[in-house]
Chain A
Amino acid sequence: EILLTQSPATLSVSPGERAILSCRASQSVSSSQFAWYQQKPGQTPRLLIYATSTRATGIPDRFSGSGSGTDFTLTISSLQSEDFAVYYCHQYNFWPRTFGLGTKVEIK
């Protein structure tokens, strides 16, 4: 099973600042099969990024993904109020499908 370790667990950021979230896999994952989701309180997770760097439909370009092998990054270039949420990384390269434990982005 691929273990995904997200850091930090909580990220305190001021609106307008940049946020960088990390996800490390326990073994190499194809960059074609790596994704990020956003979940706001009381809401369903929403696909943000797939194939490491491709934004899902309707996702603004302040969200970007990068990485390869075992290290992946989600960058939010200028945080808006609606971006404060929990972000999960996810690999769909191998069964079982796995998620990281999440990074909570909170208002500083």
Chain B
Amino acid sequence: LQLQESGPGLVKPSETLSLICTVPGGSFNSSGYYWAWIRQAPGKGLEWIGSIYYSGSTFYNPSLKSRVRISVDMSKTQFSLRLTYVTAADTSLYYCVRHRSLGPFDMWGQGTRVTVSS
């Protein structure tokens, strides 16, 4: 079971970054799992962006909350990230990740690199 991120690798400043994570298998709508996005800027540490429950309830990092939206598409067993008004500071490797409500991040995608540049 492997999560898979997809989306453009290059986004212009002030535009919207959009990524999709595909969840294979039947765990997507299993009770108790949250689906999250985490990013890692070049040479930096890990930053949690937000999490969504399969039912749609969300939690966001306050530092990004005004620009972030995470949503689910149950029919496609996918969840997505939208980050608006991006700047160079949003250039990162973006991971989609699974966790339980009170659980660690136990399954990670390979990550997708997004560069913000004109």
Interface residues of A (CB under 8 A from B): 1, 32-33, 35, 37, 44-47, 50, 56, 88, 90, 92-93, 95-102
Contact = CB atoms under 8 A, between A and B. Distances in A.
A37 to B, nearest CB: 8
A96 B46 contact: no
A100 to B, nearest CB: 7
B45 A88 contact: yes
- Chain B contact residues (Cβ within 8 angstroms of A): what range? 20 to 34
Majority secondary structure of chain B interface residues (helix, strand, loop or mixed): strand
The 6 closest A-B pairs by CB, nearest first: A35-B104, A97-B48, A50-B104, A99-B46, A44-B108, A101-B45
A56 B62 CA distance: 29
A92 B102 contact: yes
Interface string B23-50: 0000000000000100000000111100
B46 A45 contact: yes
Interface of B: 36, 45-48, 51, 59-62, 95, 99, 102-106, 108-111
Contacts of B48: 96-99
Residue of A1, A44, A95 contacting most chain B CB atoms (<10 Å): A44
A107 to B, nearest CB: 19
A44 B110 contact: yes
Contacts of A46: 108
